[in-house]
Amino acid sequence: MKLAFSTLGVPGLPLADVLRLATTHGYHGVELRAHPEEPVHPGLDAARRAEVAAQFKAAGVDVLGLAGYTRVAAPGEDEPVIEEIRGLLGLARDLGAPFVRVFPGGSGGQSAEEADAVAARRLGTAAEHAADLGVRILLETHDSHPTGADATRVIGLVGHRQVGALWDVMHTWLGGEQPLDTYAALSPYLGYVQVKDIASAEDTTPLALGAGALPLAECVEVLARHGWDGWLCWEYEKRWYETAEPLEGLLAAGREHLVRLLNESA
């Protein structure tokens, strides 16, 4: 498996510094938070996109994916949601990223069936554009659809190879789903896996990998046992927790922890 980290852990950091952290600490790739607060977002012009792609190529670091914030099950008109996804897809194509992340984002006023249908309709439309660009849309286990079983309901309705799943290990755990059950649900669709650690269900402040309550060893063991050989991406949510330790000082130990888990699961 290859290792990456998300720029959510180093909000606003210039790309040169992000790439320095990746190469210094032995990470193969970076998940870019695609938001106007960050150096990379869909508003970039063609010249700047080419510069970013060249920076990553020169550093020998992959752009794993773009972490967008589109909420595909949210109430409202379809077209603005689809256009937002198309913007992410175009940016991903220009940067050489294989994946874009979207959220479910269903509303409490919807039934599960309504939310699933809305999300599947929009994803199905966007999938055609994704196929043209060679990028996959990944629905993250998150918010209204926290478990693998939840995400799979939507992805199964779409039925398109360009729409897959992103397994966020925190949300499936908070949703009460066991790692083996999550893998069984998501394995036909799995793009990559976001790893992290937190103290408890009540305190989701990010911690160093291995310092909290999430079943990381079990998740890695399940993946390894089934021969899955994709990406593990450390999503350290520093952006939302000002008191969390800086990610920079944790990257080396985090990589060592993941390598140890992989070796123990081999």
Mean pLDDT for 226-242 is 96
Contact between 181 and 226 under an 8 Å Cβ cutoff? The reply is no
Nearby residues of 158 by Cβ (< 8 Å), 6 or more positions away: 120, 123, 124, 127
Contact between 190 and 228 under an 8 Å Cβ cutoff? The reply is yes
Q: From residue 225, how far is each of 157, 183, 217 by CA, in Å?
A: 28, 11, 12
Q: Tell me: the pLDDT tens digits for 172-198?
A: 999 999 999 999 999 999 999 999 999
* Calpha distance 77→92 (Å, rounded): 24
pLDDT of residue 89: 98
Domains of the chain and any CATH numbers: 2-265 (3.20.20.150)
pLDDT of residue 6: 98
Q: Hey, what amino acid is at 33?
A: R
pLDDT at 108 over 90: no
pLDDT of residue 266: 82
Distance of CA 22 to the CA centre of its chain: 17
Measured at the CA of 124, the angle between CA 121 and CA 126, to 5 degrees, comes to 110
Q: Which two tokens stand for residue 209?
A: 């990998």
Q: Hey, what amino acid is at 19?
A: L
Q: Tell me: the pLDDT tens digits for 38-76?
A: 999 999 999 999 999 999 999 999 999 999 999 999 999
Query: What average pLDDT does the structure give for the chain?
Result: 97
Q: Tell me: the pLDDT tens digits for 128-187?
A: 999 999 999 999 999 999 999 999 999 999 999 999 999 999 999 999 999 999 999 999
- What is the reported pTM? 0.98
- In sign, the C-alpha dihedral spanning 222, 225, 227, 232 is positive
* Calpha distance 66→86 (Å, rounded): 12
